[in-house]
A and B are shown apart, each in its own frame.
Chain A
Amino acid sequence: MRKSRSLVVLAVLLVPIVALASFSWYIVSRPAEVRISVRLPIVDLDGVGAGTELQLDVQNLGQNPVELSFWVMWFAFVRDWEILEGAPVLDPGATQTYRIRVSNIQMAIPDGSRYIVKAFDRISGIYFRSEDLRLELEGSPPLRNSGLWYWSRNTQTGVLHPFAWGLDWAAGADDAVDIGPADASSGARLWLREGGGGTGPTLAVVHQAINASDLLRLRDTPVTLCWTFAIEYRDDPETGYPLTASGVQLFRGGKLAWFVLSRSTSGIVDLPNHRIFVVRADTDRGGCAPLPLGPMIDFIGGAPLEDSSFALFAVAWPKAPGEYHFAATTFVLG
């Protein structure tokens, strides 16, 4: 009796196993009906240091038309990419070139990542895959996303930031900081309220790590900072240390170089491990000024393989309480 019950149990369990195995065998042994090839090289069209656009050659080898959407997978969470060129429906035997673009910048393929492109056929409900590839991006500028475009939320912190840039800030109990896009979707606006208490400065920073080879490239690349309004550089007459400033900061190996704007003065201020390049400019109005990157990079020096930090910054010390705005619209490269 017990033996026959065991056999029944076994038979019951075998039904889904056999069904699963036979169906799996059927679908595995079918030839792939859609062949996807990614055209190389992949160029950093947006200058953000990540793959945002791909060109694909897609062939329908099956007997039926397919209606395709494309999904680029470089980690478990995946989103469909927008088709810029190419009709979604592909007839049997037809080949077509597609240009696809990431639908959200956070899903762009990081340089160096392994990835596949999947085509989902809405008619059959089947995903097809390309061969697996590693992104070797070409044409990336030394400064990524120099226009400070693509503001989106960091997945770890929820903070809104321009893609490829990080945010940092410091504020005391009576101070405040706000960082956001300068206009609807680009540039950066740094706002500070220095309450006058404490000893440390109120600071807002939009920064990007730059590796040693890109820093060398940056040295030879003319870079212009454009702003709509800036914080006047002021220093303490007694100590010579800054009270308020905004501009660009380069940091490496414990050395800091600043590029700041002033209505009244220009020149170079040397402090311990800190050099300030002051440029005369109207901080109440918009303007542009080339960055003295050669002298700034020469000053910070550092080990050849060490990363450096390139940042927009705004700062005010307690001796200069008040509200301050710095809005940088873009960095122009070349």
Chain B
Amino acid sequence: MDLGRRLAGLWNAAAKEAGGPDRLTEILSRLALFFSGGWILALTFFDWIRSAFFVDLGLTVAILVAFALGIVNVGTAVQTWIPARRLAPLVPLSIVYFTVVHYWLFVSLVPFYGTDGLAFSHYSAILLLQGQNPYAVSQAPALELFRIPEFYVTPKETGGLVTSQTYPALSFLIYVPVVAAGATDMRIVSLAGHGLAILVAYRVTPQPFKAFAPLTLAFPDQLDFTPGSVQDILWVAPLLLSVSTLHRRRFSGCLYGIACSIKQMPWLLAPFLFVDLWKRDGTKFPSSAGLWNFAAFAAGTFLLINGPFILWDPGPWTAGVLDPLFGDNIPLGPGLSILTQGAWLLAPKAFYSATMVSVIIALLALEFIDYPNARRALYWFPGVVMFFAYRNLQNYFVYWYPFVFLALATWLREQYQGSGHAEVP
């Protein structure tokens, strides 16, 4: 008996022991309320310590309400008047609220961008409003304009810094209306994206684990990244919607195209998603209309957004968006390349590239050969691949959590519903 079957057996036994799926939802909702409450209390405590709440009445009230929500969530886990599953929406709402409070405090303490990426995207929006091509103009002035500290730039191994736009076009197009409206801090867009992603994660994750889904976007690093100017949270909501609507291939493809137009990270999912759709459709060759509808609408949406810049000047656009893959940026992050960062391992970048490619091929083969089991791990494959990359920044990993959790929740739901009943993400 393989591990998957054993887990399924355990799960069914647990559901039966608990008194059925509804009863299990009730139990897990209570657990989610308890853990979210404790989590919010802990994080609010740390924010209270580092805040100057005593000079800001608004912040004082905000912290007070966050702490009260933590108290309420823990309390609702053990109250018996109202079924916990009815109170479960408190989890996403309180997590969204705390995300806003944490953002507010962080931004007041760090009133500048913490990444060159957001500085470049903001500057690109300004350039575009002035009629200039952001891919063809140096982004170097953005570093001074947005007061980016020296630690947070991207050095190149060949000398100098990255001073070009290296993300797909929606990474800055999304800021154009915000800049045009007169806003000066684009981190607010990430905050909106973070709130939306939490609500979407809650919406698309099936019972009985639904109430836990918001917690997958409330780890301390994720909470700091939004006001800390990491933009990846922006692709989470469209990609979550995409993978949860794979039964509507055109719609899902459009959403995938949107996610891929924000940053390159969702691109990594493409080969695995391709095999997944092929296998779902059950054709001998990848020839189903659904598969190609998805691919066509994803590519079409991507080209709709990026096409104008490709036509404007294809060279700089191509060099820009491929820079994270083929540029000569220094190794960084706590993945395998930490061995090269300390120069313990005399390995060139080509070693990491070759390893990454072989891991992608192996995972694809694994998915192809043992699809029924491997498909559950599909959304963590990008994380596994990035572990072997030359750069393994934390944001390459943490935004896959809601997807992995969605796959886990869907898998376990299928176990007691019977295979094929639930929508597989």
The contact of B159 among A27, A69, A153, by CB within 8 Å, is A69
Q: Can you list 18 residue pairs at the A/B interface with Cβ under 8 Å?
A: A5-B369, A8-B370, A16-B359, A16-B361, A16-B362, A20-B388, A24-B347, A27-B351, A32-B346, A69-B158, A71-B330, A73-B341, A76-B332, A76-B341, A126-B348, A127-B340, A127-B341, A129-B343
The contact of B152 among A69, A71, A155, by CB within 8 Å, is A155
- Is B147 a contact of A19 with CB atoms below 8 Å? no
- Is A23 a contact of B351 with CB atoms below 8 Å? yes
- Is A9 a contact of B369 with CB atoms below 8 Å? yes
Contact with A along B183-196 (1 / 0, CB 8 A): 00000000000000
A124 to B359: give the CA distance in the assembly, Å. Answer: 23
> Top 3 closest A-B pairs, CB basis?
A125-B348, A129-B343, A158-B112
- Is B366 a contact of A12 with CB atoms below 8 Å? yes
Please report which residues of chain A, range 1-34, place their CB below 8 angstroms from some CB of chain B when the two chains form the complex. Answer: 2, 5-6, 8-9, 12-13, 15-16, 19-20, 23-24, 27-28, 30, 32-33
Additional 18 contacts, C-beta under 8 A, given A30-B346, A78-B341, A153-B150: A9-B369, A12-B366, A23-B354, A27-B347, A71-B330, A73-B341, A77-B151, A77-B152, A77-B332, A106-B150, A106-B151, A116-B343, A120-B157, A128-B346, A129-B344, A155-B151, A157-B111, A158-B149
CB distance from A126 to the nearest CB of B (A): 5
A24 to B355: give the CA distance in the assembly, Å. Answer: 11
Interface assignment of B145: CB less than 8 Å from any CB of chain A: no
Interface assignment of B418: CB less than 8 Å from any CB of chain A: no
Contact with A along B135-150 (1 / 0, CB 8 A): 0000000000001111
Please report which residues of chain B, range 307-355, place their CB below 8 angstroms from some CB of chain A when the two chains form the complex. Answer: 330, 332, 340-351, 354-355
- Is A125 a contact of B355 with CB atoms below 8 Å? no
A-B contact count (CB 8 A): 110
Interface assignment of B56: CB less than 8 Å from any CB of chain A: no
CB distance from B108 to the nearest CB of A (A): 11
How many residues of chain B have a CB within 8 Å of chain A?
39
Residues of B near A24 (CB, < 8 A) are 345, 347
CB distance from B153 to the nearest CB of A (A): 8
Contact with B along A119-161 (1 / 0, CB 8 A): 0101011111100000000000000000000001111111010
How many residues of chain A have a CB within 8 Å of chain B?
47
A126 to B351: give the CA distance in the assembly, Å. Answer: 10
Interface assignment of A104: CB less than 8 Å from any CB of chain B: yes
Interface assignment of A252: CB less than 8 Å from any CB of chain B: no
- Given known pairs A19-B355, A27-B351, A122-B157, the reply for A158 and B342 (CB within 8 Å) is no
- Is A125 a contact of B155 with CB atoms below 8 Å? no
Residues of B near A152 (CB, < 8 A) are 150
Interface assignment of A217: CB less than 8 Å from any CB of chain B: no
Interface assignment of A80: CB less than 8 Å from any CB of chain B: yes
A127 to B159: give the CA distance in the assembly, Å. Answer: 14
A104 to B149: give the CA distance in the assembly, Å. Answer: 11
- Is B362 a contact of A13 with CB atoms below 8 Å? yes
- Given known pairs A116-B343, A122-B158, the reply for A5 and B348 (CB within 8 Å) is no
Interface assignment of B60: CB less than 8 Å from any CB of chain A: no
Residues of A near B354 (CB, < 8 A) are 19, 23
